[in-house]
């Protein structure tokens, strides 16, 4: 009780504003936002779901303040039916005026409302959806074999308006009081603990939750179902994992991780977690858009992102579960306690959580080398950021459709890379001090990027953090640091990576650079266009030593000639830097393709497992460019000759005491060799698959996934049908989804057609269907896209409304057929103007790929013929 009293005092004493109309940036498009003349103070929401009929009745009582005289109260509402509505202090019922395009309902009164406090009461009804948007359902099989249904909510970015009429914008904070009618025997979970649970004389059970702090609408949460909860105290906080009955044994790792992370974040942020409880709610199925959601005090996860099964889960699963929990728990501060004012500053939530997930994971599990693993995500961002379709991290978001487009690798992966670069630049202590001050100052409030820069500039005087950050966050593109031998050492200049002509316009960044000579000595400085820097370091020199900077490095031929032979002596992070940069710059025409191929040829078989993993993935990416070309066999022979000894060294089976990352590298190497038709690997996988059909316990964990994926890729009809039967018979929701996705890996076009037909059949759940189609797209993008568009009305029903455009565009993005560009032009004409950036990303990827195939692969072919043996 004492904690709640202190908490309430904190809510009342919060000095940050709880609501502010977001101001558009100069030159930005007009935003579709609600009028600022009325603000909500408190919502009292009651819902009565009918899970069988997939409908619900609701009532909301909104305590509000009219700031400026107006004759209407405008709030967000979508897919709702409004019944009776009334406002305190007025006699006439308001007229409801809908704007379906802007998803608003205006309650219009005969006379203007004077400034002051009012209460708006609304009766309404809504739908329970099959996709994660608003209130939605997920079905699974109970331990007794029967079907059971759970209800959950998902509101980010803008789907709280499908649950109740409200101000559904991140910059509008209010208190939420939520109650729900539930069947007896079921558990209800929300952001706050249960305050009252009673059953009326008529047998109707109502669960009411304690009031929330003032928070944004997208953070509200509700779940109702056949749940059980395992819990532990973390100081005063009740930490729990809520699972469907029968799954409690799979929750132990997640519970332990959350307790550790909560203590770590309390210390790092310098502000204790402010709620009395923190629940992690596991649910069956999946989304194409997200794996978990940071609802304040009630974090939602799909099963695969939080639960671990000793027989089915892999070392990579274990790492990913920890990382995901670290990400969502970090959001309880960055995103929940302090929230961006509008979606253009989404990076304040997602980039920081993405960076912090790695920092926290590295603290608890340094053996995982998470900063090496995260380089793959940064590289995806850099590839997108150097061609058509990119955008600034802080980008113009005119409406909710555009907001959905901001949830991408630029916001998450470029954002977190820039945050890491800034921390390295100013120093860990100063950076943490600045973040702590920012959190303290803006707790329970909303912010813009400049608020963070002010705090960091104050913590690190003389570093000019704000100007460096703005260079990287308010303009698109990737800096290119050119290195050449100069007087007294190495000369560094700044240019721009342009993977296509749209990115050739000159641009300047204040780029923090750290360089190191292999013989000893380091140099740190800021490199900008037109301002060369001289680093007093003798070759061989690694620029971006430690790979904490967001830029690519182009070495002069003379410097490269000294550095490349020293590859085996470099730290693993710098080995990754050379592999990634040499391939990217080779494909973009800045360096010879031979630079990457020579590194691949000479990479040591005993390199760090994550370096081996990266090398295999980079060769696999090149292999996709060779698809259908007469020289693919020669490239595959080269790649297999490099990778096979590495795979042989690791073997097929885990060894006692080996690091987790060895298992990850083993799975990647064998998988890539299987894709490249290595006969020995395919034969062994097929033999193990046949044993598994007779003895399912013969395979588990990573070994099981490796074998099943390779066998599925090279399956004949009998193998495909056997795998399908196992998938449909599986009682484990996450494993069923995984097995179904394997059916979409086949290299047989006829079996792929059957996988696509299966995806939209009644045998597959609505949450699995998009995954099957997307898995087909990984190898057959044109077939997957054509199928999805042909069945668009049905596929749309499987997808969250604001993520539909990105889903179709991503299906097409891997195409190597110029005709896909015309298909995308037709798609562009059917989607909201603010969402067309997703189509532009796909178009940019296709044009870039076609350019590389036409201009760079012939160069690679010549090197392979002369030096690839």
Catalytic residues, by residue number, are: 328
CA atoms of 376 and 171, how far apart (whole Å) = 33
**Is the distance from CB of 336 to CB of 213 less than 8 angstroms?**
no
3-state class (DSSP) for residue 279:
strand
Torsion of CA 176, 181, 187, 188, to 10 degrees: -10
Q: What is the Cα 7 distance to its own chain's centre?
A: 32
Strand partners, 43: 62, 176
Contacts of residue 334, defined as CB under 8 A and 6 or more positions apart, other chains included, come to 348, 349, 352, 353, 356, 439
Whose CA is closest to 259, among 251, 270, 269? 251
CA atoms of 685 and 605, how far apart (whole Å) = 22
Handedness of CA 344, 448, 299, 77 (dihedral sign): negative
CA atoms of 563 and 600, how far apart (whole Å) = 14
3-state class (DSSP) for residue 120:
strand
Backbone phi, psi, residue 341, to 5°:
-75, -30
Handedness of CA 308, 309, 313, 315 (dihedral sign): positive
The terminus-to-terminus CA distance of the chain in angstroms comes to 74
With 0-12 / 13-18 / 19 or more C-beta atoms within 10 angstroms meaning exposed / middle / buried, residue 366 is: exposed
CA atoms of 134 and 78, how far apart (whole Å) = 10
Q: Mind giving me the DSSP string for 328-384? A: HHHTTTBTTTEEESSGGGTHHHHHHHHHHHHHHHHHH-GGG-HHHHTHHHHHHHHHH
Helix or strand (DSSP H, E) at 584: helix 572-587
CA atoms of 367 and 656, how far apart (whole Å) = 16
Whose CA is closest to 256, among 348, 171, 154, 325? 325
CA atoms of 392 and 161, how far apart (whole Å) = 28
Contacts of residue 239, defined as CB under 8 A and 6 or more positions apart, other chains included, come to 231, 232, 233, 255, 258, 259, 262, 277, 278, 279
Whose CA is closest to 472, among 514, 508, 513, 424? 508
Q: Could you give the residue ranges of the DSSP H alpha helices within 603-732?
A: 609-625, 632-650, 660-675, 679-694, 701-713, 717-729
Radius of gyration of the chain (CA): 28
Q: What angle do CA 628, 502, 533 make, to 5 degrees?
A: 110
Q: CB neighbours (10 Å) of residue 519?
A: 10
DSSP 8-state class, residue 390 = -
If you search the block for the tokens 């990266």, which residue do you land on? 614
Token digits for 169?
């914008």
DSSP 8-state class, residue 212 = P
Contacts of residue 256, defined as CB under 8 A and 6 or more positions apart, other chains included, come to none
Token digits for 69?
């005289």
CA atoms of 138 and 227, how far apart (whole Å) = 13
Strand partners, 19: 172
**Is the distance from CB of 776 to CB of 742 less than 8 angstroms?**
no
If you search the block for the tokens 């204040």, which residue do you land on? 510
CA atoms of 355 and 396, how far apart (whole Å) = 23
């Amino acid at each position: 009780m004492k904690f709640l009293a202190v908490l309430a005092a904190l809510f009342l004493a919060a000095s940050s504003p709880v609501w502010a109309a977001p101001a558009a940036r100069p030159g930005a498009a007009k935003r579709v936002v609600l009028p600022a003349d009325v603000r909500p103070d408190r919502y009292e929401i009651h819902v009565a779901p009918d899970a069988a009929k997939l409908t619900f009745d609701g009532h909301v009582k909104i305590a509000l303040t009219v700031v400026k005289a107006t004759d209407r109260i405008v709030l967000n509402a979508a897919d709702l039916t409004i019944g009776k509505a009334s406002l305190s202090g007025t006699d006439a019922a308001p007229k409801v005026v809908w704007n379906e395009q802007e998803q608003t309902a205006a309650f219009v009164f005969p006379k203007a409302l004077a400034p002051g406090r009012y209460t708006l009461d609304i009766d309404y009804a809504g739908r329970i959806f099959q996709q994660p948007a608003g209130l939605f359902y997920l079905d699974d099989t109970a331990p007794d074999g029967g079907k059971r249904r759970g209800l959950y909510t998902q509101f980010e970015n803008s789907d709280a308006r499908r649950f109740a009429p409200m101000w559904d914008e991140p910059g509008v904070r209010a208190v939420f009081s939520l109650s729900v009618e539930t069947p007896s025997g079921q558990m209800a979970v929300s952001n706050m603990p249960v305050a009252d649970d009673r059953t009326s004389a008529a047998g109707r059970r109502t669960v009411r939750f304690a009031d929330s702090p003032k928070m944004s609408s997208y953070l509200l949460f509700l779940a109702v179902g056949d749940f059980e909860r395992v819990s532990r105290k973390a100081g005063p906080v009740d930490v729990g994992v809520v699972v469907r009955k029968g799954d409690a044994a799979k929750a132990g790792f997640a519970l332990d991780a959350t307790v550790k992370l909560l203590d770590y974040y309390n210390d790092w942020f310098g502000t204790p977690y402010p709620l009395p409880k923190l629940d992690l709610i596991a649910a069956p199925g999946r989304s194409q858009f997200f794996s978990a959601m940071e609802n304040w005090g009630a974090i939602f996860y799909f099963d695969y992102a939080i639960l671990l099964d000793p027989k089915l889960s892999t070392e990579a699963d274990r790492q990913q579960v920890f990382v995901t929990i670290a990400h969502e728990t970090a959001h309880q501060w960055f995103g929940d306690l302090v929230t961006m004012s509008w979606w253009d500053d989404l990076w304040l939530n997602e980039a920081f959580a993405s960076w912090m997930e790695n920092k926290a994971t590295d603290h608890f599990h340094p053996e995982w080398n998470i900063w090496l693993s995260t380089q793959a995500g940064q590289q995806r961002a850099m590839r997108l950021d150097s061609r058509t379709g990119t955008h600034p991290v802080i980008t113009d978001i005119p409406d909710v459709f555009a907001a959905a487009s901001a949830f991408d690798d630029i916001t998450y992966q470029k954002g977190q890379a820039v945050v890491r670069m800034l921390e390295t630049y100013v120093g860990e202590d100063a950076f943490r001090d600045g973040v702590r001050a920012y959190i303290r100052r803006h707790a329970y409030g909303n912010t813009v990027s400049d608020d963070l820069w002010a705090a960091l500039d104050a913590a690190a005087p003389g570093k000019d953090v704000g100007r460096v950050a703005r260079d990287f966050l308010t303009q698109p593109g990737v800096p290119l640091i050119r290195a050449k031998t100069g007087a007294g050492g190495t000369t560094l200049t700044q240019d721009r990576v342009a993977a296509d002509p749209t990115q050739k316009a000159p641009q300047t960044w204040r780029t923090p650079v750290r360089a190191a000579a292999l013989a000893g000595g380091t140099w740190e400085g800021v490199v900008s266009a037109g301002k060369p820097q001289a680093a007093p370091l003798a070759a061989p020199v690694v620029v971006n030593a430690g790979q904490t900077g967001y830029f690519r490095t182009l070495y002069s031929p003379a410097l490269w000639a000294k550095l490349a032979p020293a590859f085996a002596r470099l730290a693993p992070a710098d080995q990754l830097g050379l592999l990634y940069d040499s391939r990217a710059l080779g494909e973009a025409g800045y360096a010879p393709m031979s630079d990457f191929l020579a590194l691949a040829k000479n990479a040591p078989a005993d390199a760090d497992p994550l370096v081996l993993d990266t090398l295999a993935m980079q060769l696999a990416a090149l292999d996709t460019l060779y698809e259908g070309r007469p020289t693919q066999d020669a490239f595959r022979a080269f790649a297999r000759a490099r990778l096979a000894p590495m795979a042989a060294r690791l073997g097929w089976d885990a060894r006692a005491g080996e690091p987790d990352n060895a298992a990850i590298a083993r799975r990647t190497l064998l998988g890539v060799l299987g894709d490249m038709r290595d006969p020995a690997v395919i034969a062994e996988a097929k033999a193990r698959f046949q044993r598994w059909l007779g003895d399912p316990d013969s395979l588990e964990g990573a070994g099981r996934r490796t074998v099943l994926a390779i066998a599925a890729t090279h399956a004949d009809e009998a193998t495909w049908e056997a795998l399908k039967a196992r998938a449909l018979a599986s009682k484990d929701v996450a494993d069923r989804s995984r097995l179904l996705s394997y059916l979409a890996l086949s290299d047989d076009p006829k079996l792929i057609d059957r996988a696509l037909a299966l995806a939209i059949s009644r045998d597959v759940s609505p949450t699995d269907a998009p995954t099957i189609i997307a898995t087909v797209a990984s190898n057959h993008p044109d077939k997957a896209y054509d199928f999805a568009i042909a069945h668009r009305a049905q596929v749309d029903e499987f997808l969250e409304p604001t993520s539909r455009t990105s889903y179709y565009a991503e299906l097409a993005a891997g195409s190597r057929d110029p005709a896909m560009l015309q298909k995308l032009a037709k798609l562009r004409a059917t989607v909201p103007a603010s969402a067309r950036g997703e189509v532009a990303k796909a178009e940019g990827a296709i044009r870039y790929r076609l350019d590389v195939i036409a201009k760079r692969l012939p160069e690679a072919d010549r090197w392979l013929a002369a030096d690839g043996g």
